[in-house]
Amino acid sequence: MKRRTLLTLSAGAAAGAALAACGNEGPGGGGSGSGSGGSASYWSLSGEPGQPYRQAAIDRFNKANPDSKITPTFFQNDAYKAKIKTALGANQAPTLIWGWGGGGLKSYVEAGQVEDLTDFFAKDAALKGKLLPGSFGAATVNGKIYAMPVETVQPIVLYYNKKIFDQVGVSAPQTYGDILDLIPKFNAKGIAPFSLAGQSRWTNMMWLEFMLDRNAGSEVFDNVFAGKAGAWSDPAVLDMLTKVQDLVKMNAFQKGFASTAADTNADQALLYTGKAAMMVHGSWSYGIQKANGGKFVPDGGLGWMNFPPIDGGKGDPSNTVGNPGQYLSLSSKASAADKETAKKFFSTVLVDDEEKAGWVKSGGVPVIANSESLFTGDDAQFQKDMSTIASNAKTFAQSWDQALSPTAAEVLLDNIAKLFQLQVSPQQWVDNMNGVIGK
Amino acid sequence: MTTLAPPAVRGQEPTRSSGGRSGSVLVWMVLPAFVMFIFFGIIPLFGVIALSFATWNGITPDIQLSGLTSWTAALTNPNLPNALWVTFLIMGLSWLVQTPLSILLGTFMARQTRYRGFLAVLYFIPLLLSSAAIAITYKSLLDPNFGLGAGLGIEALNQNWLGQANLAIATLIFVVSWQFIPFHSLIYQGAVRQIPASMYEAAQIDGAGRVRQFFNITLPQLKYTIITSSTLMAVGSLTFFDLIWVLTAGGPGDATRALAVQMYQLGFQASLMGPASAIAVILVLVGVGLSLLLRRIGGRADQSQLEGA
């Protein structure tokens, strides 16, 4: 009898411990703050160039506020996108939710998961004034602000390897026609004309964003975003999709591009190792290439430009796409003390001079205003150019997958991947995409 | 995701029942696993069945019941036929590759040869690695620009392994086999050792050679083990997700997008938990159906195989 009790107890204890462990696995959005200060949790992306500066801001805050503590956890890009949604659904969200604004933020707002920060910014006009006005667009849903713009303005640009261009004896493209002329020249030398991380799909999407904008202007996607029926049925879309498939058929992208993943930065390695000549990528790629490419960036091997105009296209060549900023939202489920901690984090270290200097040092253009005077180091030219592209753009469009709802974005990404595999025709693509407009 | 508990490997040695007392102890010993199974197998399963009749984006606190909408959406999804085809293709091909190799390796390991112990340990290594680690390793090795082929300058190795539809499936089957053959070899090794030596002795006296012995004694004696191993392979292949996700993410295009990947993409990327749950239920039904079918094919498993031994 005694033995049986022991068995029961130990079995019960083991199961109990296992269950308890599962329950506590999340980082504890509730975060029982000991003492007066809150203990906010913070989730964001891992890796160069951003992680060290995100960590530095938190360290500064924790040092200045010994009573309250912010605990960060960092994830890889694609893993984070899934993880944060699961955590929100399970009420295990961190206090501070890092994101891209736009459609993803809208879905959090509709679910009542993030705090309305309109009053917070209204009360603290000085804080709002410290941030670039253009960065608030993607943080605003139905006229209310739900996120604090942070970090950097990230237009997507065309990078090229100057050493490879010299080696092949060609100059940087001025128009899309020049690009088409360059492709066979690089292929003849056994160098991939473009590096593309096709497995990640949003990388392919950057191509479509530019090709559509340069061909047809920003109106087509505006209509899609507004949910107008049949918005993709524009002849310019078919034309743009045909051009993209022509690029694939011309072997414009490296061998096996469909299995290259962006999370490992293999696409950028192709460019700085000289296996590929050009790449369309976000401005954050500069920091990655600087951190991983050895002497490639310091020696002036990297060139960049806004995506060139397409001959006969209607789009304004100054237009760009990308991320007008990154965004930190506040979980509505967090305790009052944690929210206070987070707001203090917003209004102090996230807009201080060290924050601004840090992001400049990372090679980026901060969302904090008046940072141009800091563009003096090795990266000054890049930063000035990014700043010019961002501020001169007639339209700074948000990345499509971030602007649309997650449901529509998934269909979009799926069809883009199939388009690049020549699995769907341009017409099928248009039909498939018209089917999810407004969803 | 719902995982099915793998059916226990049926040992052929008759267990001797030693009275009622050990029976009650047995109940207590089963309890921890049973409790875990209820909490992490059965309850989530009912949750998923309930979710498949609901609409939920995974974020909102309230889940709306919506009848058959999610099922209609899942079943009319244009990607479903391809996902089903890919799932069964992977299942069939991986069975075809794994079964003969596992039987041969298992039979080899069961014999008392000199390096058997050492080799058995060596074969076992892949089983100790996580699928994600295996997938990351193979992805790096097979990269057409930075992988083995490009690094060593061997043109034959420098194929577009994961970027071309048919090759990607073949590569996937290879990696799956590399990972799971050790496990199935182990099952066969145990089963071969259970075959009484007297059978082989009798065959030897009758003048049967090695090959003859293998086909006339070993294989028929392994019948139930083959059923068990095939069930594990078939049902297990339904849950391949980690490997596919890391290796190809279902690509290129949708060439390796099996049902489990489709389920993940619908649920966690498109925020359509209802249709994703419907696919999960389909996976469960297919898995249970396959197990039952294989058992039926195998006949009554409690029949003795050792008659006449």
**Which of B41, B91, B37, B47 lies closest to B276 in space, CA to CA?**
B47
Instruction: Calculate how close chain B gets to A11, using CA atoms only, in Å.
Output: 6
- At residue A331, φ and ψ (nearest 5 deg) are -65, 130
- By residue count, chain B amounts to 309
B224 residue type, one letter: Y
Phi-psi sector, A438: left (phi>0), alpha (psi -120 to 50), beta: left
Q: Are A269 and B146 in contact (CB under 8 A)?
A: yes
8 Å CB contact between A72 and A64: no
Distance CA A287, CA A358 (A): 12
CA gap A421, A374 in Å, rounded: 44
Map residue B145 onto helix, strand or coil.
coil
Is A407 in Cβ contact with B272 (below 8 Å)?
yes
The answer to whether the CB atoms of B36 and A15 lie below 8 A apart is yes
d(CA A94, CA A91): 9
Instruction: Say which residues have a Cβ less than 8 Å from residue B137's Cβ, sequence separation at least 6.
Output: none
The overall pTM is greater than 0.90: no
- Closest Cα partner for B268 from B282, B287, B250, B247? B250
C-alpha distance from residue A115 to each of A147, A237, B261 (Å): 8, 38, 33
A20: left (phi over 0), alpha (psi -120 to 50) or beta: alpha
CB nearest B253 (choices: A261, A405, A418):
A418
Chain B residues whose CB is inside 8 A of the A258 CB are: 162-164, 251-253
Amino acid (one-letter) located at B299: G
CB-CB: which of A86, A258, A405 is closest to B252? A258
- Cβ contact A68:A365 at 8 Å: no
Closest CA of chain B from A13, distance in Å: 10
Task: Write the DSSP string, A64-130.
Answer: H-TTSEEEEEEE-HHHHHHHHHHHHHTT---SEEEE--HHHHHHHHHTT-B---HHHHHH-HHHHHT
Cβ separation of A259 and B251 shorter than 8 Å?
Answer: yes
**Chain B positions touching chain A (beta carbons under 8 Å):** 25, 28-29, 31-32, 35-36, 39, 56-61, 78-79, 139, 143-146, 160-165, 168, 248-249, 251-255, 265-266, 268-273
- Name the band, by pLDDT with cuts 50, 70 and 90, for residue B159: confident
* Identity of the residue numbered B83: A
| B270/A410 Cβ within 8 A | yes
- Assembly ipTM: 0.79
Question: Is residue A85 a contact partner of residue A317, using CB atoms and an 8 Å limit?
Answer: no
Task: Give the 3-state secondary structure of B214-280.
Answer: HHHHHHHHCHHHHHHHHHHHHHHHHCCCHHHHHHCCCCCCCCCCCHHHHHHHHHHHCCCHHHHHHHH
Sign of CA dihedral B297, B301, B303, B309: positive
Question: For chain A, what percentages of helix, strand and coil (3-state, to nearest 5) are there?
Answer: 50, 15, 35
State whether A199 and B249 contact (CB < 8 Å).
yes
> Residue B268 is nearest to which of A86, A260, A275, comparing CB atoms?
A86
Residue count of chain A, please give it.
439
Q: Out of B28, B39, B163, whose CB is closest to A258?
A: B163
pLDDT 10s per residue in chain A (439 long)?
Answer: 344 444 444 444 444 444 443 433 334 333 333 344 678 899 999 987 889 999 999 999 999 988 888 999 999 988 898 889 889 888 889 999 999 988 889 889 988 999 999 999 999 888 988 888 888 888 988 889 999 999 999 999 999 999 999 999 999 999 999 999 999 999 999 999 999 999 999 999 999 999 999 998 888 888 888 888 889 998 889 999 999 999 999 999 998 899 898 888 889 999 999 999 999 999 989 988 988 998 999 999 999 999 999 988 888 888 899 988 999 999 999 999 999 999 999 999 998 889 999 998 888 889 988 888 888 888 889 999 998 888 888 888 888 988 888 888 999 999 999 999 999 999 999 999 998 887 7
Would you state the structure tokens that stand for residue A217, as one six-digit string? Answer: 């202007």
Tell me which residue in A4, A112, A270 faces B28 most closely, judged by beta carbons: A4
Residue A76 C-alpha from the chain's centroid: 12
Give the Å distances, CA to CA, from A256 to A196, B151, B176, B248: 9, 15, 21, 11
